[in-house]
Amino acid sequence: MPPRAKRTQQSADYDSDIDGIFQAQQRIRELKKEQNGEIQKVVGETEAQLEKLQNRILTTMDEKHKQRHDRSCGSWHQQLTAQYSAKNHATDIAKLAESVERRAEIEREIIRFTKAMSSKMHELETMMLEAYDHRVKTAKECIGHG
């Protein structure tokens, strides 16, 4: 009779190990979803800023073309507007530089996050292999080959 109690305990241990593995896999899926969501959010923000910048550049180019045309007419007001546009252009370039810096920072964070996740996956794999080896050993002992 005692071997049966031992098998029941082993079965409970096995179920516990399976539950732990399943929970770890669920957490990994959750982390991947979170990571993908953050990436999509950043990509969306970056695309919006780039589109805004592109529109401002096109507007600036149109203004520059108009300014050249108006300069031939000697318009003082247009020259003043050109100076103001140059300041806006410098501001836009600074914003773009900040966006590029932020994107690089996010990419570094994603790399760090991916490395951490890989490390956790390696730990999980190691734990699973150890559990498997333990199960094999226990099975051999129960059969009488150990």
Q: What is the pLDDT of residues 93-133, one digit of tens each?
A: 888 889 999 999 999 999 999 999 999 999 999 999 999 99
For the chain, the 3-state helix, strand and coil shares in percent, each to the nearest 5, are 95, 0, 5
Report whether 128 contacts 21 (CB < 8 A). Answer: yes
Q: What is the dihedral of CA 46, 47, 53, 55, to 10 degrees?
A: -160
For residue 140, is pLDDT > 70? yes
Residue 82 to residues 59, 86, 121: CA-CA distances in angstroms? 12, 6, 57
Q: What is the pLDDT of residues 32-60, one digit of tens each?
A: 888 888 888 888 888 888 788 888 888 88
What band does 5 get if pLDDT is binned at 50, 70 and 90?
very low
> Higher model confidence: residue 140 or residue 20?
140
pTM for this one? 0.37
CA atoms within 13 A on the CB side of 14: 13
Domain extent listing, the chain: 2-143
Q: What is the pLDDT of residues 54-102, one digit of tens each?
A: 888 888 888 877 777 666 555 666 666 666 677 777 888 888 889 999 9
